Amino acid sequence: MIFIYPYRHYVVSFLLLSMITMVSQLFRIELGLINIALIHLIPVIVMALRGNMGSTMVVTAGSVVLFDLLYVPPEYSFDVHDLTYIWSFFIFFAVGYTISAQAKRIQANTIKEIFLSTLSHDLKTPLSSILGNASLLLKDQMYDAATRREVLIQINDSGQRMNRLVANLLDSARLQDTHSALRKEWCDFEDIIGVALQEFRYNPKESQISVRIDPDLRLFWGDCALLVRLIVNLIDNALKYTDNGKQIRLSVTSDAKTIKLICFNESTPIKKADLKNMFDRFYRIDHMGDIGGSGIGLSICRDIVNAHSGVIEAYNIQNGVCFEIRFSVNKLPSERLKELQ
């Protein structure tokens, strides 16, 4: 089923077209040409309501072709003697276009609503932790040093989490804008991973992360700041789902045409459907319970990888989960560097 999923709109279109052809052929005499034309609008409207412009246009063309071929005299040919039918073709396209544009707008609003509700949840959780813990400290009761420290660690953690979320939102806005917003320069993945790891230096699980980088890895032409966010989000995600003492391994390898980045963490396998969908915005793996993540981290990973014309996928291996990213190398650094004398 997973292979079909990206083409689901087209599968539905095909089924619809077959169905209306069957009905029209069976009741051809009873229905008459005008009603048959109206029936041929059904697939157009159904597909348009899904808000997918591409499949709508395909189904419209299919509908028009079938109608012309099978019912418009002369039948079984594309010749059209009466010019009014040409107009009906245009009307078909106009209907399809208008409805799918409207549907898209409505969908965008729904996404905005989900966005706002997720966002307010993800911001409010750390915020209430900060406020609650701060008010504990403000009360004049004297807590012992260990408790105070625990409370402060909580405040610090929540602050860090909010900081990461805000960074993600800013990047997300930048990526939604256009691709021209990328600030590309020569990036060294070792450098990038180093900066990303800095962000977790106070995390007790940081030492569980091991890094292996191809010694002759070349520089990569990309937006270094975004690539850092990519690694930060991958590590953040891996840390969330990795128990104490278990391993997280980051590796970067390359060949002539690609740079491959793998983030592996020891954990229970992820369900097949989740593997595919977890890069969607605000998708949460429910059975994992509330680990305090936001659905935005992995979707930003996907956006950043896409902006660099790369591919990101997740898969299970024997004792854990791998996130694999492949960037194709389109621009090579020049081989000759000026060596000082």
- Amino acid found at 272: K
Find the binding residues for another protein in span 191-250 (CB under 8 A). Answer: 191, 193-195, 197, 211, 213, 215, 219, 224-225, 228, 250
Min separation Cβ 197 and another protein, Å: 6
* SS3 assignment, position 323: strand
| CA pair distance 71, 183, nearest whole angstrom | 56
- DSSP character at residue 48: H
- CB under 8 A: which stretch of 36-44, 263-271, 298-306, 333-341 binds another protein? 333-341
**Touching another protein, residues 304-323 (CB under 8 A):** none
Q: Please, which of residues 128-167 interact with another protein by CB under 8 A?
A: 159, 163, 167
Q: How far is the CB of 341 from another protein (least distance, A)?
A: 6
Closer Cβ to another protein, 176 or 334, answer by number: 334
Q: Is 329 in the site for another protein (CB under 8 A)?
A: no
**How far apart, in whole angstroms, are the C-alpha atoms of residue 203 and residue 207?**
8
User: Is 338 a binder of another protein (CB under 8 A)?
Assistant: yes
- Rule CB under 8 A: is residue 79 a binding residue for another protein? no
What spatial distance separates the first Cα and last Cα of the chain, rounded to whole Å? Answer: 63
Query: Min. distance of Cβ 335 from another protein in angstroms?
Result: 10
List Cβ neighbours of 78 (8 Å cut-off, separation of 6 or more): 65, 68, 69
* CB half-sphere exposure, 44, CA atoms < 13 A: 25
Size of the site for another protein (CB under 8 A): 29
Which residue number, 151 or 311, has a Cβ lying nearer to another protein?
Answer: 151
Query: Cβ(212)–Cβ(249) under 8 Å?
Result: yes
Neighbours of 333 (CB within 10 A): 12
Name which of 40 and 174 has its Cβ closer to another protein.
174
Number of helices (H) and strands (E) in the chain: give both, helices first. Answer: 10, 7
Q: Which is nearer to another protein, 182 or 213 (CB)?
A: 213
Q: Verify binding: residue 334, another protein, rule CB under 8 A.
A: yes
* CB atoms closer than 10 angstroms to residue 256: 7
Are residues 257 and 328 in contact, defined by beta-carbon separation less than 8 angstroms? yes
Contact between 178 and another protein by CB under 8 A: the answer reads no
Q: Which positions lie near another protein, rule CB under 8 A? A: 159, 163, 167, 170, 185-188, 190-191, 193-195, 197, 211, 213, 215, 219, 224-225, 228, 250, 333-334, 337-341
